[in-house]
Structure 1
Amino acid sequence: MKGNVLVGQSGGPTAVINSSLAGVIQAAKKYGAGKVYGMHYGIEGFLKEDIIDLDEYITCHADLSLLKRTPSAFLGSCRYKLPPIEGNEDVYDRMFEIMEKYNIEYFLYIGGNDSMDTIKMLSDYAAKKDKPQKFMGVPKTIDNDLPLTDHTPGYGSAAKYIATSMKEIIRDNASFGASKPTVCVVEIMGRHAGWLTAASALSRDSDCEGPDLIYLPEVPFDLDSFMEKVKHLAETKRSVVIAVSEGVRLADGRFVCELGNMSDYVDAFGHKQLSGCASFLTNKITEATGLKSRPIEFSTLQRCATHMASRVDVDEAAAVGFVACQAAMEGHTGMMITIQVTSREPYLVTYNKYDIHEIANVERKVPRDWIINDGTYVSEKYLEYARPLILGNILPYYAGGLPKHLTLHTKDK
């Protein structure tokens, strides 16, 4: 019998983060791990020795199947930044003491950029102190901004939700154009990378013209140019719908949302809470034109809509969890699993391992040549890239007309 597995979830949840957890559990059982423990609220909970015995919740295939259909992070998440190793060895010694207490041999962390930094520091400390534990990163982020992987689990489902919702918004907004145009600005997540907002272009099809303008944070935002384009569209159309990243910035580096009533909250990683970009822009539109304008902010909806998860995304999320656990149990450490697309039509992928030092704290943005029309749209190259990622569905299990979820409170098996 091998040692035990410890797995945690970190950062913003996705529609498929629990599929990765299911993949880890499946691999641990297949390859003979002792027990599978979960960190309650990620590394922050682990530091408090808040550890969950997953055998109490996952007892059969039906539980795993329901877990894959459950939104948010089943184990709970956190945004907790580990301190530098130098000068804080007592913190790291404490973590390894807890691992030894629970006979943890394999440590897996499901998350994005900041979570991969956690894996990097823990694997570095283990190497420095000649510790036997193995550390593997399992990629997760709707932002799709991790390097070296073609895309990240979570992105496909978020893109599917955004494209679907955009189609519905465009249809709804077009209902009210009898007398004068209505302008709708849709704010989509994306601090520095515009992958999510780019997904709004997937709504364009034979039955939908797609958004009129798309603004990503990769290109400086010009408010005067924006207003001129809106005025021109309002003169030629009865309905105007615009997609904008929450993180669009002016040429001087200020977030557009900072021009309005943005929160002063900053998280442990120094990230400002971005919100209010669409509200600011619609207020400017109404002031300048007198047109009715409406802001829509998807906010957390775009990351928790498991009922609209992409089948491709669910399967890949489970696969990276499985491969990560398998790799750790084979002796690999200080790495993250990546998805490599070998063919987009037909869609085929493979899974690789990369050194975590090449991934942690590196942010991948939308290629500049995929952004067209003076920074107001995305090209066919993006659409070819993203279309396979949103394919297929995984239907929820329903009870009383509503989806059923697996939670830490459901022990009555």
Structure 2
Amino acid sequence: MGMRNIIVGQSGGPTSVINSSLAGVYKTAIERGFDKVYGMLHGIQGFLDEQYVDLSTQIHSDMDIELLKRTPSAFLGSCRYKLPEIHEDMEIYEKIFGILDKLEIEAFIYIGGNDSMDTIKKLSDYAIVKGHKQKFLGVPKTIDNDLALTDHTPGFGSAAKYIGASTKEVIRDALGLTYKKEMITIIEVMGRNAGWLTGATALAKTEECEGPDLIYLPEVPFDIDAFLSKIKDLLKEKKSIIVAVSEGIKLPDGRYVCELSGGGDYVDAFGHKQLTGTAAYLANFLGAEIGCKTRAVEFSTLQRSASHMASRVDINEAFMVGGAAVKAADEGDSGKMVVIDRVSDDPYMSAAGIYDVHKIANNEKTVPREWLNETADYVTEEFINYIEPLIQGDYPPFMVNGLPQHLVLKK
């Protein structure tokens, strides 16, 4: 009888809880009797170069699992690699399955977002066509929260928690700087086509904080003239203006706002433009048009790497879906992605479900138009009610000499 081995990889932009899913995969695989749990180094791209590690050489105790759950970024390394269509390059698939057979892999688990689910779809399709017995399961991961059929994605809650808290702090800072002179602060938040993260800035609106004045999401075309008019009106009422914008807001003609300043030239393997400079462009635009002090604040990679502010709900759910993928593969499922189903709002409860990856890959879930106000410059109460349960609780890091400790891959 052959070995029962499993392999897991991480792909795409990391999150502060992606390693909690990895911990869930490892712990559940060991509990269910798999002989070895391999980790791909740098996802499917590294796997093609036969770069992998036996995770038992990295994780030695329950304490290591707890450390891993609190470690940001991709412990195994990530990639942005697009597999060709099966008919375009059969050799690459033959190579992948040759390595899987050599390692006696029974289940292939991939933790990632939309593009990663495309990988699961193609590999599971090839296995069916060619009669291979390996099972292929996807584990959701993305701070963008744009995966279809899942209520939300692991990584989103913690990023939203960081964004809400940081927006409050930026607002306090701005208020302390304005006395006799006006100042406009533009906060740029990640989000190419979906504005879930930018909407999270509304969490800053609390008893002691007014929150941002305007919020612009990429779901609705951005009217720069109407924007200028609203800013001028607000300056008649207050000296400090805070605006949150998604990096991917577009003009009515389809151009990204960041392209107005020369951004968006770099394109990745999946055809996505690198978006940066939206806040800087708008701050400069307002400074020139109005003549007051402006500043641009980019939360940038801090949104996905701030594990010290991770949500307990998020870490626990990330661990849950990792374990659920192993269970599903062990019970014969393939070509599926684990999802999070919202069971109850009060009290908040969730459970792991599973859906056909063909219905998820390459589909984006955007913020419903009815969750924006009429003028599309703020989110509604429904949006807040949806997001608030996901940011609850804390997962205190293990502190050493005043700083958080992380688990680091030893090659």
- The bucket for the TM-score relative to the shorter chain is over 0.9
Which residue is equivalent to 2:208?
Answer: 207
1-structure distance, mates of 2:252, 2:28: 48
SS of structure 2 residue aligned to 1:85: coil
SS of structure 2 residue aligned to 1:372: coil
Which residue is equivalent to 2:367?
Answer: 366
Alignment of 1:313-328 (within 5 A): 313-328=314-329
Contact persistence 2:258–2:264 (CA under 8 A): no
Alignment of 1:14-413 (within 5 A): 14-409=15-410
Letter in 1 for 2:15: T
SS of structure 1 residue aligned to 2:342: strand
TM-superposed CA distance for 1:234, in Å, is 1.3
Unaligned runs of 5+ in 1: none
Letter in 1 for 2:209: C
Letter in 2 for 1:267: D
| Runs (4+) off by over 6 Å | none
Choose 110-119 or 350-359, whichever is displaced more.
Answer: 350-359
Letter in 1 for 2:38: Y
TM-superposed CA distance for 1:276, in Å, is 0.2
2-structure distance, mates of 1:58, 1:325: 18
1-structure distance, mates of 2:351, 2:16: 22
SS of structure 1 residue aligned to 2:53: strand
Letter in 1 for 2:97: F
2-structure distance, mates of 1:403, 1:348: 29
SS of structure 2 residue aligned to 1:377: coil
Contact persistence 2:135–2:335 (CA under 8 A): yes
Letter in 2 for 1:291: C
TM-superposed CA distance for 1:401, in Å, is 1.1
2-structure distance, mates of 1:125, 1:118: 11
TM-superposed CA distance for 1:162, in Å, is 0.2
SS of structure 1 residue aligned to 2:338: strand
SS of structure 2 residue aligned to 1:219: coil
Contact persistence 1:307–1:395 (CA under 8 A): yes
Contact persistence 2:397–2:405 (CA under 8 A): yes
Per-residue CA deviations over 1:43-87 (Å, capped at 9, x if unaligned) read: 000000001111101111000000011110000000000011003
2-structure distance, mates of 1:87, 1:349: 40
Letter in 1 for 2:168: K
TM-superposed CA distance for 1:261, in Å, is 2.7
Contact persistence 1:2–1:32 (CA under 8 A): no
2-structure distance, mates of 1:59, 1:284: 54
What count of residue pairs does the alignment treat as equivalent? 410
Contact persistence 1:38–1:52 (CA under 8 A): yes
Letter in 1 for 2:112: G
SS of structure 1 residue aligned to 2:322: helix
2-structure distance, mates of 1:256, 1:67: 38
SS of structure 2 residue aligned to 1:135: strand
2-structure distance, mates of 1:281, 1:120: 40
2-structure distance, mates of 1:350, 1:404: 30
SS of structure 1 residue aligned to 2:353: strand
Contact persistence 1:183–1:293 (CA under 8 A): yes
2-structure distance, mates of 1:404, 1:87: 45
2-structure distance, mates of 1:99, 1:90: 14
TM-superposed CA distance for 1:177, in Å, is 1.8
TM-superposed CA distance for 1:263, in Å, is 4.3
**Identical counterparts, % of pairs:** 57
Contact persistence 1:13–1:73 (CA under 8 A): yes
TM-superposed CA distance for 1:306, in Å, is 0.4
Unaligned runs of 5+ in 2: none
1-structure distance, mates of 2:195, 2:342: 21
TM-superposed CA distance for 1:93, in Å, is 0.4
SS of structure 1 residue aligned to 2:363: coil
Contact persistence 2:106–2:134 (CA under 8 A): yes
Contact persistence 2:214–2:378 (CA under 8 A): yes
Report the TM-score, using the length of structure 1 for normalisation: 0.98
Letter in 2 for 1:115: S
1-structure distance, mates of 2:121, 2:311: 30
Contact persistence 2:3–2:104 (CA under 8 A): no
